[in-house]
Amino acid sequence: MPGVGLGFAVVFLFALALPLVLYALVRAERGGREEMDRETAERVARRDTPDRDNR
């Protein structure tokens, strides 16, 4: 039964490491974002949607 304990330890360490890796990836992505005011952000968000006049 030593294999069961080893398997549990591997799964347990993986369960602890995965959230930390995901957190690090999200934090790294955050550094590259462009900060802007609300009006500019709305304009950029609507840039890829059709205008009401084009319907």
Give the tens place of pLDDT for each residue, 10-38: 999 999 999 999 999 999 888 777 888 99
In this predicted structure, the answer to whether residue 5 has a pLDDT above a threshold of 70 is yes
* Identity of the residue numbered 37: D
Q: What is the pLDDT of residue 52?
A: 60
What is the rounded distance in angstroms from the CA atom of residue 13 to the CA atom of residue 21?
A: 12
Q: What is the pLDDT of residue 46?
A: 87
Considering the entire predicted model, what is its pTM?
Answer: 0.50
Longest Cα–Cα distance in the chain: 71
